[in-house]
Amino acid sequence: MTQTEKYQCCMVMAGGGFRFGYYLGMYAAAVDSGNKPDLLLASCGGAIAAAVIQALPDDAQRKAWISSPAMYQFLCGLQSTPKAAIGRSFVHAVKRGLTAKRAHVIPDLFGDYFFDIPAQLPLPRPQSDPAVAVAIVGGKMLFSKDEVGKPRKQRKLFAETVFGSARTAALLAGMSSPLSEPQWGDNAIAPELLTDTSMPIGDAVRISISDMFYFRCHAHQASHYTGGVVDLFPIELANRLAQRVIMELKAPFSQALAIPAWRAVLGVDGNQRLRHVHSQFADVWIDASDVERVFHKRGMQKQVSWTRNRFRLLMPARYETYLAHVEEQWQYGYQRGLEAFSKPEANHKQHMRNATRHNRGNA
């Protein structure tokens, strides 16, 4: 039996939300420094960037696409649902924070979400022979709508699924989902890692950005899927797929909001998982741990509208401001990438210092 050849270099694009512009800068830095990846492994907002990179041939066209009026109008069109009512949101967040049990009931990912997002995203048409391969992480839901609210009773609710090529599927054959391991406690992730080579990339991206309590799950044919959060930092998959791995250093999650949501839906402590990822080996670590601070009041913002009794996603009121923010994201990713690629030994030491700092907190 012939063994499938690994990719040379995998760049992981893990998360990012709607600040996905900085991934385009990171990719450009990799190319310009002689570290061009031949595989992009993406989850959540990183999946949008990966799809754009694969579909368009150069930096100028990629930046133009995410800076386009169509993308701006799409982001401006994300509307709050009644579930985003301020009082209701606060009460449910408090309940999740006070509940120590791990995914004790089957969550409502069909109807309990804050923001409506269209099924079709404004993505460029895929190329027939792309220069870079893309694999996207999502989660197949193993329960139906009529089971919502029932006790989970240690049942597995999600199967991590990687959408990609036949080569990717062959390399991942027989691998278990990293988040299904017993070290994560009574989690809701099934052991078997699934692969899907037939999912259209637009659907795969829409699946990956589905986020618990933020966006509705995505239906495709007879199945429903949730987001890349089922393995938001897939470093084990990257090492299985490629000889070299480029990974981000991330900041810890909020103990007040994000961690209870992870616990309630996936049965996993997100910061425990992040510390474990930071302790593993990657050939290059790009420090994006301050991205939230740097772009705190730039780009899309979640705001409270007391008059409308809603949490809302707001974009800059002027299109020109949006263009400036996209350029800032791109430059941030490009400069952080160049820093990481220019001094790999110093980069590794810096990663270890930062990882130790992150591992020390949010235990």
Q: pLDDT by residue (tens digit) across 316-334?
A: 889 999 999 999 999 999 9
Contact assessment for residue 138 and residue 227, using Cβ atoms and an 8 Å cutoff: yes
How far lies 221's CA from each of 113, 135, 137, 162, in Å?
21, 20, 18, 17
Could you tell me which residues are beta bridge partners of residue 218?
225
User: What is 299-358 written as a DSSP string?
Assistant: SSEEEEETTTTEEEEE--SSHHHHHHHHHHHHHHHHHHHHHHHH-HHHHHHHHHHHHHHH
Per-residue confidence band for 173, with pLDDT thresholds at 50, 70 and 90 = very high
Instruction: Assess whether pLDDT exceeds 80 at residue 257.
Output: no
Contact assessment for residue 213 and residue 261, using Cβ atoms and an 8 Å cutoff: yes
Most confident stretch, 87-101, 156-170, 289-303: 156-170
Instruction: Assess whether pLDDT exceeds 60 at residue 352.
Output: no
How far lies 190's CA from each of 59, 226, 244, 261, in Å?
39, 14, 27, 19
Find the mean pLDDT for residues 18-46.
95
Q: Report the alpha-carbon distance of residue 168 to residue 196 in Å, rounded.
A: 9
Q: pLDDT digits over 182-201, tens only? A: 889 899 999 999 999 999 99
Q: What is the pLDDT of residue 360?
A: 46
Instruction: Assess whether pLDDT exceeds 50 at residue 350.
Output: yes
Q: What is the pLDDT of residue 185?
A: 87
Strand segments, DSSP code E, in the chain are 7-14, 39-43, 79-80, 115-116, 133-141, 158-163, 194-196, 218-220, 223-226, 242-249, 284-287, 301-305, 310-314
Length of the chain: 363
Single-letter amino acid code for the residue at 309: N
Instruction: Assess whether pLDDT exceeds 80 at residue 2.
Output: no
Contact assessment for residue 189 and residue 160, using Cβ atoms and an 8 Å cutoff: yes
Most confident stretch, 16-30, 40-54, 335-349: 40-54
* Mean pLDDT, the chain, whole residue set: 88
